A and B are shown apart, each in its own frame.
Chain A
């Protein structure tokens, strides 16, 4: 191998890596927040009394989980334009990734809710709680405790999937990697740095979520 590593140009452009990382994080966080809201709504809809809600949410989940995110991204990006709504690429990514997350989180949260034993609900009802109160005090916390690992895994997936943003021009970390590689021709060094950054990011999230899990859901570990 006759290749000499030059990392100087990397240090000179450190702020690009930083801004790229920030954009990646922003996209992932926004998409997760959006997706979690959709996920809770979807999970409730999947088990609701109305057939329309059940059918629609089931169909939406299947559509989301059986088509590539790239396709969904283009559909939102072009589709919103066709409908007359002018959305900048950044928000197209947030919407596409958010809805995608929503599809997967619906199933995750639904599994969590169904894992709550019906006996718990009977106890709450016997104490005179309303349906909403039962949901809020008896179902939500334990359900989240059950699904928390899966949800944080979905967050890591979001970070990795956010890379698709570069395809429509959003300046996330992957965009910066390709940009720098084209401008400095130091492709190996650029990619090594970005690879390490992504790995640090995903590992940090996993560790932090394990920490959060032990803190928020103490009752699981006593």
Chain B
């Protein structure tokens, strides 16, 4: 086999399509994290929130048979998780990262318990009818470009950025800091729920490992994208490409290596390609009204 045949076997139109699909959940999570970090709330619970979205999709699709209702339920469940995180961070002043870890651990436990209780298989649901996951790919593109305009070209976008940069100034200007933070942390959760729904619709059932660190890769994509939706999309496409490539490479190299590839590349990209991002000034800080 010549090198050209080898490359021809790897780089096909299927690789491009797979890139778009695999980039979608990462882009959605990165977009969500962009919103919440822009208002000052770190949420590392995005991983668990996406798992929750997948779990709720499977549950509701199983109960109602309608993939559309399942999609809505997944988004709402994600919003609920986001709201819980906001409540913990804002009202109970928990450390943001710690609260996110709490969501991840709690959802991991719930997913195992509920799959066992409902389907009798630990960590796996049954197959059910799904949507064409290309719908969600389309929605993702619309959301990314819509959000880019929203954050940088509208007065609401200006307000949300001020809340993350200078909450005192925002407060003085009559912006409700806490309410803004609640709203966009819930938005973050809803987008992660949608990402979870994508994972479910992509394969037709829920498994506990299906998100497999893509939530954390989504956070990395947000950092690489420098807190802008279009930047996040660019980084997500890169990770989607690596993911698609590793699936093709499994034919040629031991599968353990190809599975490791996205994680290894994430570390390498963060280590060598990134200049310091413009971190919102009030990120992770509790705001106490004077």
A, B in one complex: no
Seen from chain B, the residues whose Cβ lies within 8 Å of a Cβ on chain A are none
Residues of A that sit less than 8 Å from B by CB: none
